[in-house]
Amino acid sequence: MLVLYNIPHRDCGQYSQGGAADGDTYRDFVDAVAEGIGDRPATVVLEPDAVLHLVDGCTPQEYHEERYDLLKGAVATLKGLKNTKVYLDAGNAGWGNPDQIHEPLKRAGIEQADGFAVNVSNFYTTEDSIAYGKELSAKVGGKHFVIDTSRNGNGPYTGGDPDERWCNPPGRALGETPTTRTADPLVDAYLWIKRPGESDGECKGGPKAGEWWEDYALDLARASTS
């Protein structure tokens, strides 16, 4: 399983800011990824938050057309491979409404993809994620989806600053172990897309976004067995 997370203007300048310098650099990156995969089996989750941030206003309007073009091109390139499945990130059960994102997903190439991914790097329960995914699936041609269960064992955090509930929240737990045996035929897999123990950013004592945080990983594991 691979996660492509290199879209230009990534994360709107927040904790995980960065990405490719421009569109051509991103296209070269995707071509290199495709060459690296070759004919080997692979599952790719494509650009967490990239479509969501077009919808919620986080990404400036001037970048929208290019981003749709880059995502659609990435889907086409990766689906041109023999054994690669592609799931385009589609937000989570708590961010908004499927009515807001189904048309943007179509512009981003969902029709050519195998499906979409929900709850990436988030904490909404598997039950809520299935409900959200099924509602969205009905609006994008019955596409299947995968769910990130890496940290959703106790559901979302409801304390503290509402704007930072996504960032290293305490008391969370590992969710279902990765498997293709799921509770619904539309759900292709439960996956640990966000690696448990990987920091969301420098909040609540954490290291930089993406860096390993052993104490948090242990807390997730302990909470899942209590």
Residue 151: CB atoms within 10 A of its CB come to 27
Is there a catalytic annotation at residue 200? Answer: yes
Question: Which one of the listed residues 114, 128, 200, 219 is annotated catalytic?
Answer: 200
Q: What is the CATH number of the domain that holds 144?
A: 3.20.20.40
For the chain, what is the domain count? 1
pLDDT tens-digit profile of 29-42? 999 999 999 999 99
Range of the domain at 109: 2-225
pLDDT tens-digit profile of 48-89? 999 999 999 899 999 999 999 999 999 999 999 999 999 999
Question: Which one of the listed residues 31, 49, 184, 215 is annotated catalytic?
Answer: 49
**CA 68 – CA 109 distance, rounded (Å):** 8
Q: Is the pLDDT of residue 16 over 90?
A: no
In the prediction, which pLDDT does 183 show? 94
Q: Is the pLDDT of residue 226 over 90?
A: no
pLDDT tens-digit profile of 174-186? 999 999 999 999 9
3-state class (DSSP) for residue 7: coil
3-state class (DSSP) for residue 109: coil
pTM above 0.75, yes or no: yes
Is there a catalytic annotation at residue 11? Answer: yes
**CA 8 – CA 150 distance, rounded (Å):** 26
